Amino acid sequence: MEIGLDRLLAVSFPIKYRELQFQKAFYTSIHLIFPILYTASILYLGFIERTDEQVKCAIPTALAGVSFKVFTLSSHAIYVSILLAYLMTAILLKFHDTSSRFKAVFKSIGVTVGIVLFGWAITTVSNTFGYFVTDDPEIFNLIQMYSGITVNIAISSNLLIFYTINPEYQMTVKLLMDGSCGKLPTFSDSGSELQNLRKVTKSQES
């Protein structure tokens, strides 16, 4: 979601976005606020619901009861926000004069996020409807574990997707594979270009 919001900001307010690149700590901190608060809240709910019952060594069993329901239902809202962010970004890219490189980067990220989102959506839907399918905790735990396979497949496919779509990623991987990673080229989003854009922006404002 944060990557989608970052891309949306880059397309909607390109000059302001370039300015934020000089405030990396501040900009990164803003993006970390929601993930940290969300994760802390889920972990807190899971912590206060803990019992002395023994559980299997499986990730889904770390949350139970209200905490798991909150996590599952809130995931649906996050997925919708991700779709909206990328849809708005795609529309803006289509009707704005944007560099082909930026569009290629957005395409590779968009496809990757889409596949991962699809995997997570299947997992979340399975977990949500698992409550209606069975009352047996053993079967419900199995549903949780097996539905997570789609997420693992989606995440493991990132390398292939980026390599197939993004030419710069292809070049970087090839340079890393043949041991010449020290010869990585400098792309167009260099610091000097950002400095020049900043000067132009200031002159326009004055």
Q: Does the pLDDT of residue 85 top 80, yes or no?
A: yes
The pLDDT, as a whole number, for residue 197 is: 43
3-state SS class at 92? helix
Encoded tokens for 138: 């053993």
Cα separation, 33 vs 10, in Å, equals: 19
- Residues near 23 by Cβ (< 8 Å), separated by ≥ 6? none
Q: Does the pLDDT of residue 95 top 60, yes or no?
A: yes
Contact 148, 123 (CB under 8 A): yes
Cα separation, 200 vs 202, in Å, equals: 5
Written as one letter, the residue type at 73 is L
Q: Does the pLDDT of residue 33 top 90, yes or no?
A: yes
Mean residue pLDDT across the chain: 75
The pLDDT, as a whole number, for residue 45 is: 86
- Point out the least confidently predicted range of 30-39, 51-60, 120-129, 155-164: 51-60
Written as one letter, the residue type at 29 is S
Cα separation, 1 vs 117, in Å, equals: 10
- Express each pLDDT in 102-135 by its tens digit: 666 667 677 777 777 888 888 888 877 877 787 7
Over residues 11-24, mean pLDDT: 84
- Point out the least confidently predicted range of 131-140, 145-154, 173-182: 173-182
Cα separation, 38 vs 141, in Å, equals: 23
Q: How confident is the model at residue 189 (pLDDT cuts 50, 70, 90)?
A: very low
Contact 118, 153 (CB under 8 A): no
Q: Does the pLDDT of residue 191 top 60, yes or no?
A: no
Q: How confident is the model at residue 179 (pLDDT cuts 50, 70, 90)?
A: low
The pLDDT, as a whole number, for residue 204 is: 47
Spell out the domain ranges in the chain. 2-205
The pLDDT, as a whole number, for residue 127 is: 77
Over residues 37-50, mean pLDDT: 86
The CA angle 92-95-206, to the nearest 5 degrees, is 75
Q: How confident is the model at residue 16 (pLDDT cuts 50, 70, 90)?
A: confident
